[in-house]
Amino acid sequence: MDNDDDSDSHIVADISKASPLSMANSELYMTARKSPSTLTYYGFCLINGNYTVNLHFAEIEFTNDKSQDSLGRRVFDVYIQGKLKLKDFDIVKAAGGARKAVIKPFNESVTSNTLEIRFYWAGKGSQRIPREGIYGPLVSAISVLNSGI
């Protein structure tokens, strides 16, 4: 159903916030991709070698105030190349609050010309608080830099 809310919680969604965020490179964090269960990204046709993978996160749906919108909690796991990199990752906890950026860098090896990044909701965190919606994984941006350059 397309009625501008998250009542259809079985699809991947893009979210954006028009209010300015006070952080460096805030344009990276004004939008995000979220999913009720799993998000998977692939980098195809990469040159085999070592890469720095930077995962950019900012919780832009929840707030830091005492309102209903501050009650949500998003917890998920991150796998890169099939290996667990972040277990029970909570963006708000890692960033020190909502609407704050956190970047998680990883050194990864590509051996078959493909990079796989998976964000997996493991059934932890909010499900219907502060309102029914999508509380699975969320990512703001991904950068992949060849370490050999």
For the segment 103-123, the average pLDDT, to the nearest whole number, is: 96
- DSSP result, 75-98: EEEEEETTEEEEEEEEHHHHHTST
Name the average pLDDT for the chain: 84
Structure tokens at 26: 């805030």
DSSP percent split of the chain into helix, strand, coil, nearest 5: 10, 45, 50
Report residue 120's pLDDT band, with 50, 70 and 90 as the boundaries: very high
**φ, ψ for residue 91, nearest 5 deg:** -60, -45
pLDDT tens for 41-62 read: 999 999 999 999 999 999 988 8
| Burial of residue 39, with CB atoms counted within 10 A of its CB: 0-12 exposed, 13-18 middle, 19 or more buried | buried
**Position 149 pLDDT exceeds 50:** yes
What pLDDT is recorded for position 1? 38
**φ, ψ for residue 20, nearest 5 deg:** -65, 145
CA pair distance 94, 96, nearest whole angstrom: 6
